[in-house]
Structure formats: C-alpha cells, structure tokens
Amino acid sequence: MDSPFLKRMRTMADKGSTKLKMLYIKEYLEKKSDEDNPVSVEELLDFLQKKEIECERKSVYSDVKTLKEYGMDISSVRSPRPGYALLSRDFEIPELRLLIDAVQAANFITPKKSKELIEKIGNLCSEYQAGILEKQVYIDNRVKCTNEEIYYNIDIINRAIQQNKQVSFVYRKRRFDEEKGIIVTDEKDFTVSPYALIWSNDHYYLVSNNSRYDNLMHTRIDRMRKVEIFDMRARNFAEVSPYKTFFDSADYSGKIFNMFSGDTQRLEICCHNSIVEEILDRFGQTGEIKSSDEENRFRLVTKCIVSDGLVSWIMQFGDKIRVIAPENLKRDVAEKAEKIYNQYTK
C-alpha cells in the first residue's frame, strides 16, 4: 500500500499532467489542423501518449470544449474526414503572405535573418499551410544587408530614444579610391541625439542630431557598428526640428525625399495629368491640388524638405513636372539638367 506521501505525489503528478494535456492539445491543433486538415481524437491520443500522458477519449472531448470556451475557433467537422479543425487564427494566410513578402523585400534584413523570420511567420499557421506558403516564396537576387548587428543596433537605439540618451557608433561608408583603383571603406565615429527610426527606400535610417550642427542628419542602420548608449542626455528635438511636443516620424518621412536632409519650404509644381497617381501616391492628402491654365496639367501646392533628393525625384518625370516655386529649387533642377545634357553632348 502506498504511503500518504506517495499518494499526494501521485495526485500532484496527475494534476500536472491534466494541465499539460490541454496545452499539448492546443499545440497539436495549432500545428496540425486547419479547415482542410482536421485531426482525429485518435491522433490526439497518440500524440499525448508520446508525451507520456495517459487519458481517455472523453477527457479529450472535455479539453476541446474548454479550449472553445476559452476562445479558440475549433470546429468538429465531417469532411474531408471526421475530426477537429482550428478554423481561424490571429493571422490569415494573405496577411502572412504580406509579412513574408515584406521580409523578402527589405534589403536591411540579412539572408540569415530573412530565413529565420520566414520560418517564424510559418509557425503562425498550420504545418500544411506553412508548406504552401514556403512553395510560394520567391527568392530573387536582390542585394541583402550582411551586417548581423543591425537587430541589436535597432534595439539599442530604441532604448536610447525611450531613455532620452545619446548614442555613439562607428559609421562605415564606401568610396572609390582613384589612385588605387579599388573600393575602400572609411570609418568615422559619431555621437548623436537619436529621435526616430524610419524605413525608407528599403533601408532603415536613424534620424538624429550631431551637436555640432543645428539640423537633422540621417544615417543608415546597416552601416553602423559598435552602437552603444552614451550616458548623456539627448538634445531636445525642438531645437533642431519644427516639432515641439513629440517628433512626428510619419509627418517627417512624408516630407523628405530619398532621405536627404534640408529646409522645409513651400513647394509648387505643375504636373502633367498622366502622373496624377504618382503625385497622389507620394503626397497623399497633404498637398493641395489646383487647376492649371496649361492644357492637360494640374498644380500641386504643399510643404516639403527641399534637397538634392527632391531634385532627383522631380527629374525622374522629365518634362512632366515643372517647378514653379521655390526659386532655389528651380535653379537646382535647371543646373542638374544642364549638367546631364553637357555630359552627353560634350
């Protein structure tokens, strides 16, 4: 006969197994079932037995009922075969597809991390659905970042922003050495006040201030090395930007072009009707659209950061955009166009 102590231990073990049993059932349904692939009670019992949990069929019914009461969308189905199926999850398949495509498209995510993230995204659906998603993943030959520090750098910078502290880092930039005829990498030390992280043109950028200047600077996260929080209070962004109470990343990213910094000015451009979609995609509802005296054209009036990036953006449309204001932008576009023309005619 068992002693009272052994009975208590066995009772405690049985209670522990009962709690684990429901968690294992939940895990199995999440991994193995979907609307096209139900799992039978026999499959659940076999899985539990492998986990060294003995139970009866009726306890499985009871646990499934409890999981349904908890909020899991589990249904008892007859087709394509009898069993239980988890019909809905936090993410639908099209949503997971979008996440995978975003990971694939992001140049700042290394190949190794891209693979890891795609596998983790696949864990958000059943194994069968993950297999279908994997077959649909298109691996192109786009250049990917090789800096594995980037994820730690993002975390460090986020903590620095939250703590209102400065960050120090080594910034690497490549250039062509004319004397040697090779590409060389220059390194420079920076200590800055960080304000925001912005994803633009398939790269992550840090928007910050170098205390030597009264403006904002942009640095690519993938080019940073040895990022550390510097134990000194960050400079208030109100001193170097138009924002007073909080740094509006969404507003700021909507005003910059190709991550070039500059001054915010009133922009007025005359555009051909054929590029209205491109103009609306870029400026959204922030710009004011007006009619034009010129045939097949309209005018846009807005505020944005005038920089070399804006010049390049305008020039991609050729004669379909003409700058009306400001005067300095008109001059910059004209000079850039003349340089390009001279390069092909001289």
Instruction: List the CATH code of the domain at 4-86.
Output: 1.10.10.10
Do 21 and 63 touch, CB atoms closer than 8 A? yes
Q: What are phi and psi of 39, to 5 degrees?
A: -115, 140
| pLDDT tens, N- to C-terminus, the chain (346 residues) | 455 543 444 444 444 466 789 999 999 999 999 988 999 999 999 999 999 888 889 999 999 999 999 999 999 988 888 899 999 888 998 899 888 888 887 777 888 888 888 889 999 999 888 888 876 655 555 566 777 788 889 899 999 999 999 999 999 988 878 888 888 889 999 999 999 999 887 778 999 999 999 999 999 998 999 999 999 999 999 999 989 998 998 888 888 876 777 888 999 999 999 999 888 888 876 788 888 888 999 999 998 889 888 999 999 999 999 999 999 999 999 999 999 999 998 7
In the chain, where does the domain assigned CATH 3.30.70.240 lie?
Answer: 263-345
Distance (Å, whole) CA 204 – CA 133: 26
Q: What angle do CA 225, 231, 233 make, to 5 degrees?
A: 110
303, 267 contact by CB (below 8 A): yes
**How many angstroms separate the CA atoms of 229 and 64, rounded?**
49
Region(s) of the chain under CATH 1.10.10.10: 4-86
Question: Is the domain covering 263-345 a CATH 1.10.10.10 domain?
Answer: no
Would you state the torsion angle of the CA atoms of residues 78, 81, 85, 87, taken in this order, to the nearest 10 degrees?
-70
Buried b (16+ CB within 10 A) or exposed e, 297-321: bbbbebebbbbebbbebbeebeebb
At 5 the pLDDT is: 41
Sign of CA dihedral 248, 271, 274, 293: positive
CB 107 within 8 A of CB 202: yes
Instruction: Quote the CA–CA distance of 2 and 207 in Å, as a whole number.
Output: 70
Closest CA to 201 of 226, 189, 187, 218: 218
